[in-house]
Amino acid sequence: MSVRIFPNKQPNVHEAIDIYCNLGWGKLQDYNFEIWKKAFDNSDFISAYDENKLVGFIRLISDGFHDTQVLEFVVTPKYQHCGIGKLLIEELKDNWGHTDIYCNTVDKNIDFFLDNGFKRNRLAPISKAKFK
């Protein structure tokens, strides 16, 4: 395994959605690739590749000065617990660490973020349905 991390490299939307599906985030037919491509075009990325195969990435948005929001942080199951998440976090800190970085996560991943320098805050994440 020879994984390399690439800041500012947008992954192929089909490869990314394949990772989502491998993580149990729906089925391939659930995704509208055209809409996801537009979302990707309006996001920043840090991508992890083993040779030419996408194995993980962080999708984020940032104003570049004050705030950065991690939208998705994924590593394909076969490559989890191999240090790839830590490498992605280090690249995130190197490139966006001058901003406040926000990330919502599921309970089972909280310790990973705490172990990598994130802190809990008093902000309560809230969600909404699409209004249109």
pLDDT above 90: residue 126: no
Give the residue among 80, 29, 93 at the shortest CA–CA distance from 50: 80
What is the rounded average pLDDT of the residues 57-80? 96
Q: How far is CA 56 from CA 5, 36, 122, 123, in A?
A: 9, 17, 29, 27
Token pair recorded at residue 19: 């990772």
pLDDT above 80: residue 132: no
Domains located in the chain, CATH noted: 3-115 (3.40.630.30)
Share of the chain above pLDDT 90, in %: 84
Predicted pLDDT at 130: 60
pLDDT in tens, 99-118: 999 998 888 998 999 999 99
Predicted pLDDT at 59: 98
Predicted pLDDT at 124: 63
pLDDT in tens, 20-54: 999 999 999 999 999 999 999 999 999 999 999 99
Predicted pLDDT at 42: 98
